[in-house]
Structure 1
Amino acid sequence: MRKNLLGSAVAASALIVLGGTAIALDHHGHSSWSYDGDGAPEHWGMLSADYATCDSGHEQSPIDLHAVSDAADLAPALHWEDAEGSVTDNGHTIKVGLEDAGSLHLGDRSYELVQFHFHAASEHTVDGHQYPLEVHFVHASEDGHLAVVGVFFEEGEAHPALDALWAAIPHEGDHHEVDDVNPAAFLPDDHSAWRYAGSLTTPPCSEGVAWTVMQTPVTASAEQLSAFTALYAHNYRPVQPLHERRLTAGELH
């Protein structure tokens, strides 16, 4: 299994000592984060001053989701398009970078779909239940705001859109180009979704992220799930406290 570290960046690293343990620094001077050991999520906030929000933030993601009666004030509208993509193993996940893949509109702000990536097991939970896989579609606005759409996978029938992506997974740090990536193929037919204000689920855990998580999972076969977990079996951040945030539900348009 590939190690869940920053690959080539760690190779040229310096070292710091945290709690008596040597921690590698990446080429930006940040200590390397991971999902286990000394770089695990419970240590992220101590690895770098830039990661302090991972500990101190009060709008952190992921969270545990549950049935709610409050309707969302705003409903995201998706305008996704088929696009060319680049599949990368970045040492933390399998990421698909996209060009001209369409957008998400929320209120008076437009966000461009720039990439999607996967977590096993799921980062968000539903009444404590964790799905075997979750995909995050990351959107960015021109003024630097982020919006993410999450979709759960449960074991069942094979998902046709996954096969081409899994076949294109490169060696860690490399990338493979893929054509005709259809992001909408990963959406369930039921567009009911949770909405809340959250953060990135990886360092620096920046807040102000507009989260939408679909309530209905899609399916992937046991073989497709195993193909991912053979590389990343534990690349999820545990759920974070909701604090005073409002969890709402509505329809994705």
Structure 2
Amino acid sequence: MNQFSIIKVFIIMLAIAVGSCSKTEDIVKPDVIHWNYEHPDWQTQGFSECAGPIQSPVDIQTNSTIKVDLPNLDFNYSAFPIKIIDNGHTLQVNNNGTNRVVYNKKTYDFKQFHFHYHSEHLLDGVASDMELHLVHQDPSSGALLVVGYFLKKGVANSLFESVLSNWPKQKETEVSTTTSIDLNSLLPSDNRYYTYMGSLTTPPCSQGVMFFIVKTPIEVSSAQIDQFKAHYDHNARPVQPLNSRLLYEDIL
């Protein structure tokens, strides 16, 4: 398959995402049915789409990715005060209406970010210490774009510390704070990525989500990881079958 054919297939993949998009309410609405990570067979618990053919996360096998020059992820982020919630499954920081990402000339509004311990996606069968998901949405179609970053043990991360230090005392209640963060300080300079069509990794597991897993990990300290782990020591969905999906790797 030549590069033109690969890009054509990728554009078709993006069109499928718009046609089978998930809505914001799937991300932020309260649980109607209780679910947990101890029993992740959620399709038997009233979330039938969790058994769908294009589920996330997946194991990224680098020897079988389609390597090509893909569009950049252009982040248009600025500082904003934290609105934070412990939703009973993870720690989540919600949007303030000003941040967005542009991909393939389409703008997606930033909605929220949250964390998983350990990483949900695997890289050649190996999990990272944690994973960060930045969730965005096309305001016109409702299509979701999620950018994932592996978090690994290293030096302390000041933005992560700001988030952890504002952990709400009560679950399922959003707390507004005076602490301001700038996601630009978190992101690595190299945002080349792996990408594929997937789903939300929590119920209702809505499909048609564009997933981008950035190759360059973000460092956080062991103490910061332990602090998150003290609240959630297992909130990662098991990897799902890739089935017939294509997994692309941005190489330039």
Q: What TM-score, normalized to structure 1?
A: 0.81
What are the equivalent positions in structure 2 for 1:9-88 lying under 5 Å apart? 30-36=32-38, 40-42=39-41, 44-48=42-46, 51-55=47-51, 57-67=52-62, 68-71=65-68, 73-88=70-85
Structure 2 match to 1:129 = 126
Contact in 1 for aligned 2:86/2:174 (Cα 8 Å): yes
Rate the CA distance shift 1:220–1:29 in 2: closer, same or farther, 3 A: closer
For the pair 1:197 / 2:194, whether they are aligned, the reply is no
1-structure distance, mates of 2:66, 2:211: 18
What are the equivalent positions in structure 2 for 1:88-237 lying under 5 Å apart? 88-142=85-139, 143-171=141-169, 172-178=171-177, 179-237=179-237
Rate the CA distance shift 1:239–1:108 in 2: closer, same or farther, 3 A: same
Contact in 2 for aligned 1:96/1:115 (Cα 8 Å): yes
Cα offset, 1:197, TM superposition: 0.8
Question: Which amino acid in the other structure matches residue 93 of structure 1?
Answer: T
- The 3-state SS of whatever aligns with 2:163 is helix
Runs of 5+ in structure 1 lacking a partner? 1-26
Rate the CA distance shift 1:251–1:145 in 2: closer, same or farther, 3 A: farther
1-structure distance, mates of 2:108, 2:251: 18
Contact in 1 for aligned 2:67/2:251 (Cα 8 Å): no
Question: Which amino acid in the other structure matches residue 65 of structure 1?
Answer: I
1-structure distance, mates of 2:157, 2:220: 5
2-structure distance, mates of 1:28, 1:183: 26
Size of the alignment, in residue pairs?
Answer: 219
Runs of 5+ in structure 2 lacking a partner? 1-28
Cα offset, 1:202, TM superposition: 0.4
Cα offset, 1:29, TM superposition: 8.5
* CA-based RMSD: 2.0
Q: Percent identity?
A: 33
Contact in 2 for aligned 1:54/1:203 (Cα 8 Å): yes
Cα offset, 1:90, TM superposition: 0.6
Cα offset, 1:28, TM superposition: 7.7
| Relative contact order higher in (CA < 8 Å, ≥ 6 apart) | 2
2-structure distance, mates of 1:59, 1:157: 35
Cα offset, 1:58, TM superposition: 1.1
Rate the CA distance shift 1:173–1:140 in 2: closer, same or farther, 3 A: same
